[in-house]
């Protein structure tokens, strides 16, 4: 019994050290953010773009996913409308924010759909990867000023979105 008590004490002490380290790290990062200028207080993107251009990840008006699958589809439709208008008006500098917004909404949508219908997870994962690749391609084409390439890639994205809608039961 004395041996079990020692093991428990060592485990408790180890846990306390880890918690103290996490708290200390959290407090020191808060101190640094208080000293930072207000313009840099935006959260950093959670992942870098495959193209290595994380600055394109953050839109000024970042879209936050709604709570239900139909509500997220409504948001995706709104972003598609904006993206269609940007491409039609030749505003290719806006393409990356809109494409990445659609990508992020599709990821959130797929997470909710997979939780509701786990059988569709494999199929959805593949289509989500297609949307991610398409958003990256749209970013590259838009930055290059390639209108015809952007139009072609957007048509592909719309096809994939239609397939996702069929799997998730979107409107």
Instruction: Domain ranges for the chain, please list them.
Output: 2-40, 54-168
Name the pLDDT band for 149 (thresholds 50, 70, 90): very high
Burial of 142 (0-12, 13-18, 19+ CB in 10 A): buried
Q: Which CATH number fits domain 54-168: 1.20.120, 3.40.50, 1.10.287, 3.90.550?
A: 1.20.120
Q: What is the pLDDT of residues 53-86, one digit of tens each?
A: 444 444 445 778 888 999 999 999 999 999 999 9
**Share of residues in the chain with pLDDT > 70 (%):** 64
H-only helix segments in the chain: 2-35, 69-88, 95-116, 121-143, 147-168
Q: pTM score, two decimals?
A: 0.65
Helices 95-116 + 69-88 axis angle, to 10: 160
Rounded average pLDDT over 81-106 = 96
Nearest residue to 130 via CA among 104, 149, 156, 101: 156
Average pLDDT of the chain to the nearest whole number: 76
* pLDDT higher than threshold 50 for residue 18: no
Segment among 44-48, 101-105, 126-130, 139-143 with least mean pLDDT:
44-48
* Residue 73 to residue 107: CA distance in whole angstroms: 12
């Amino acid at each position: 019994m004395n041996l079990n008590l020692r093991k428990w004490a060592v485990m408790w002490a180890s846990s306390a050290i880890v918690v103290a380290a996490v708290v200390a790290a959290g407090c020191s990062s808060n101190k640094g953010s208080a000293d930072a200028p207000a313009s840099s207080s935006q959260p950093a993107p959670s992942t870098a773009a495959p193209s290595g251009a994380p600055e394109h990840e953050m839109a000024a008006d970042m879209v936050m996913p709604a709570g239900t699958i139909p509500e997220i589809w409504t948001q995706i439709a709104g972003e598609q409308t904006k993206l269609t208008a940007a491409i039609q008006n030749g505003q290719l500098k806006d393409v990356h924010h809109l494409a990445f917004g659609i990508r992020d909404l599709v990821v959130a949508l797929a997470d909710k759909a997979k939780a509701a219908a786990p059988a569709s997870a494999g199929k959805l994962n593949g289509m989500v990867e297609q949307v991610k690749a398409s958003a990256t391609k749209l970013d590259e084409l838009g930055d290059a000023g390639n209108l015809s390439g952007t139009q072609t890639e957007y048509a592909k994205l719309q096809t994939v979105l239609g397939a996702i809608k069929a799997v998730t039961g979107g409107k």
